[in-house]
Amino acid sequence: MYDNPDDVYYGPDDGYDGAPQFANEGSALRAAGPGNPRNLPCPTCGEPDRLTPADRRLGYQCDPCADRQEGWGD
């Protein structure tokens, strides 16, 4: 099915089809859950509790910082 160990996947018992679950529509951040808590600061802005361990492994920053970098927002 999926072979990337850095992503968070949910199995059939979780009510999902095994695809990676995202935090919000349009977000690359992974959904938080018991095995992937949103408890890490953003490496760009330093705000606490913005990333999960999966997000950090993937080298992500929080959505507001990503939006600013891409020219969206203020």
25-50 pLDDT per residue, tens: 889 999 998 888 999 999 999 999 99
Instruction: Specify whether the CB–CB gap between 52 and 39 falls below 8 A.
Output: yes
Q: What whole-number percentage of the chain has pLDDT above 70?
A: 70
Q: Total structural domains in the chain?
A: 1
C-alpha to C-alpha distances, 15 to 8, 12, 54, nearest whole angstrom: 14, 5, 20
7 neighbors 55 (Cβ within 8 angstroms):
no
Nearest to 8 by CA among 63, 55, 59: 55
In this prediction, residue 14 carries a pLDDT of 47
**Enclosing domain of residue 38:** 1-74
Phi (first) and psi of residue 56, to 5 degrees? -65, -45
Task: Flag whether pLDDT at 1 surpasses 80.
Answer: no
